[in-house]
Amino acid sequence: MPLRVVVAGATGVVGRTLLPLLRERGHHVTALVRRVDRLNGSTSFDDIAVADLLDPDGVRRELCRAAPDVVVDQTSGIGRTDLPDGRHRTARSRERASKNLVDAAVAAGTRRIIGQSTTAAYRPHGHDVLDEESPLWTDAPGCWGDAVRAQVAMEEAVLTCSDIEGVALRYGNLYGPGTQYAPGGAVHSRVCGSELPVVAEGAGVTSFTHVEDAAGAVLELLASGDPGPYNVVDNEPAEATEWLPAYARMAGGPAPVSLTLEQAKAQLDWLTVHQLTEQRGATNFRLRETLGWRPKWPSWREGFADLFGHWPG
């Protein structure tokens, strides 16, 4: 059955992939943006709603006008910023924006809201691959703790409101066109510049999510599936010592240098060291078993090969 769907974050890497898929399935799509020029001439929608998510009255007005059955929030879960205080401001803004969007959706009579979250927020624990019952790392140090607590606040706003069905999609590291792993992106530049090493004593595990699989999970959960959190990741969590060298080969960059843990701590920021040495991967078991969802890109190996047009030699 066609639905009226409002997509916040319509100009992001997942939003750009999602909009045409929604229209192909006959849904009426409203792109919720802060500025019209961010759409860059895209026509993959039926309507435009212009509002700043930090303006509760404006968001409420636009959602009541659009009257959506489903609101999809694809605004960035944990923003990538260069300055720690910038990340802190982003976290605080994220909390307010999430609450405003949920309140506006309830006022508009929306049945379901789908929010974007991240598996990177899980508390690292042992060598386990983590599921949705695993705790989030709310007491993480520094600005990363601010970011995780903002994610928790977003999930609580979406999942605990009794007046609307809430779904939180916890993506792994997003990759694909337009992401930081694509040519010219931040990770691509760091790897090709020999700025992202492997750590000999580290066993950090990353779960990846192709933007097409993120969008596909949204489609699956528009009108089906129980409310709650879902990990949206591929089938192959990978240690940094495995995926980084493979990515470097496919990207045409130099092999990553190898550092000891002490060298890494002296040369890299805390968050990068955590990701390379402590971070845990996640399992997509719940989404696969309850909805029959299958990732189009079951492994990051296939997805990276497609991104760069070849398998490593």
pLDDT of 81: 38
Report, as an integer, the average pLDDT of 31-56: 89
Q: In whole angstroms, what is the distance from residue 275 CA to residue 272 CA?
A: 5
Q: In whole angstroms, what is the distance from residue 140 CA to residue 279 CA?
A: 12
pLDDT of 258: 95
Q: Which of 49, 65, 169 is nearest to 113 (CA)?
A: 169
pLDDT of 36: 87
Q: In whole angstroms, what is the distance from residue 105 CA to residue 59 CA?
A: 9
Q: In whole angstroms, what is the distance from residue 283 CA to residue 231 CA?
A: 7
Q: What is the pTM of this model?
A: 0.93
pLDDT of 42: 74
Decide: 105 and 30 in contact? Cβ < 8 Å: no
The predicted-structure confidence for 102-151, as pLDDT tens digits, reads as follows 999 999 999 999 999 999 999 998 777 999 999 999 999 998 999 899 99
Interhelix angle 142-159/84-107, nearest 10 degrees: 0
Decide: 155 and 117 in contact? Cβ < 8 Å: yes
Report, as an integer, the average pLDDT of 229-244: 97
Average pLDDT over all residues of the chain: 91
Residue 291 CA to its chain's centroid (Å): 20
pLDDT of 40: 78
Please give the C-alpha separations between residue 47 and each of 6, 7, 43, 67, 109, in angstroms, as whole numbers. 9, 11, 9, 12, 18
Decide: 69 and 5 in contact? Cβ < 8 Å: yes
Q: Residue 276: pLDDT above 90?
A: yes
Tokens standing for 194?
């020999």
pLDDT of 91: 67
The DSSP string of 264-290 is: HHHHS-HHHHHHHHT---B--HHHHHH
Decide which of 91 and 205 is more confident.
205
Decide: 129 and 205 in contact? Cβ < 8 Å: yes
Q: Residue 290: pLDDT above 90?
A: yes
Q: Which of 240, 242, 251, 241 is nearest to 191 (CA)?
A: 251
pLDDT of 83: 37
